[in-house]
A = this chain, B = another copy of it.
């Protein structure tokens, strides 16, 4: 068995190498400008080798897509140590925005690009379960907001609407930046505006008690 495991391990390492390299290149050159050849060159293997580890280019992209959600979910989990649900919610917002700003290509893949979604839709026909990964994160947010509501810390509203709203707000902020729609602001003021915007939402959204607390 030892030998089998070793093999398996090596295979996983190679996959990781390919994925990491692909991601690095995506970040550098943008998703649509990276070719299998680029990736192969960077890791100093032949293009054909890539196909031993991934079915095709979509497979790479989709795997990264899933890994992105894995990462994001883990980050979300870190907020669980916070007792107060509103504070936790806020922390979630921060975590979400940070993730997006630090991994814009992952974020793009997960929440903006068309390709992966198409892939998922195709898959859904065959294997219904797969998409859990994505909805899990939304569910997490939803639960958090539910707790807030139950604790009277959040305006009563349709839970789906509320969760979607909070998500949309955060998504709006980061996606405008990732897709470069903030040319009206000086480059160096952007990060500041992002942070302030997050505060602004929480500041105006909740009652005075909360505001002071924050």
Task: List A residues at the B interface (Cβ < 8 Å).
Answer: 30, 32, 111-115, 117, 120-121, 131, 134-135, 138, 155, 157-158, 160-162, 164-165, 167-173, 175-176, 179-185, 189, 193, 196-197, 200-201, 203-206
A-B contact sample (13 more), CB < 8 A, given A112-B175, A204-B206, A205-B205: A111-B176, A117-B180, A120-B183, A134-B183, A135-B183, A155-B200, A155-B204, A157-B196, A167-B176, A168-B169, A170-B172, A171-B172, A171-B175
Q: Which of B114, B155, B201, B203 contacts A180 (CB 8 A)?
A: B114
Neighbouring B residues of A182 by C-beta, 8 Å: 164
Contact A161 B197 (CB under 8 A): yes
Neighbouring B residues of A30 by C-beta, 8 Å: 114-115
Q: Which of B121, B131, B158, B168 contacts A173 (CB 8 A)?
A: B168
Contact B164 A193 (CB under 8 A): yes
Neighbouring B residues of A111 by C-beta, 8 Å: 176, 179, 181
Contact A168 B172 (CB under 8 A): yes
Neighbouring B residues of A131 by C-beta, 8 Å: 183
| Among A157, A158, A164, A173: residue with most chain B CB under 10 A | A164
Q: Which of B164, B169, B179, B205 contacts A112 (CB 8 A)?
A: B179
Contact A200 B157 (CB under 8 A): yes
